[in-house]
Amino acid sequence: MSKFEIKTRTNGEYQFNLKANNGEIILSSEGYSSKAGCENGIESVKKNAADDDKYDRLESKNSKHYFNLKATNGQIIGSSEMYESKSGRDGGIESVKKNAPVAIVSDLTV
């Protein structure tokens, strides 16, 4: 089952990772100063994941492909790993669309 894992970074900030059924991380958040902010970020991912227009498809300086998922206000709520190909990146987007709305939340901070 896909899941959002909430964890605490070494600097004390909260972060979530969305993991697919196979355990692979398909989306990671930036750091949040509070757990409530992190939980709101997860809800925003669930709400926005299905909307293809919310994904920025990008290419890094070293020709790797990745994407950012943005909220309605344009703020980045999650970023992908680096992919070797556009098709890999696009597969990652489809995985987020499929997994995020039904993912459970696992709080690893407790």
pLDDT tens for 20-49 read 999 999 999 999 999 999 999 999 999 999
Per-residue model confidence (pLDDT) at position 69: 98
* Assigned fold of 3-107: PH-domain like (2.30.29)
Per-residue model confidence (pLDDT) at position 31: 96
Query: 67: pLDDT confidence band, cut at 50, 70 and 90?
Result: very high
Flag whether pLDDT at 110 surpasses 80: no
Closest C-alpha to 20, from 110, 94, 82: 94
**Residue pointed to by tokens 């987007």:** 93
Strands in 65-70's sheet, in edge-to-edge order, are: 55-59, 65-70, 76-79, 25-28, 14-19, 3-8, 104-107
Closest C-alpha to 2, from 48, 62, 52, 42: 42
In the chain, where are the structural domains located? 3-107
Average pLDDT on 48-57 reads 97
In the chain, what percentage of residues exceed pLDDT 70? Answer: 100
Mean pLDDT of the chain, nearest integer = 96
Q: Is the pTM of this model over 0.85?
A: yes
Closest C-alpha to 29, from 69, 65, 60: 69
3-class secondary-structure state, position 45: helix
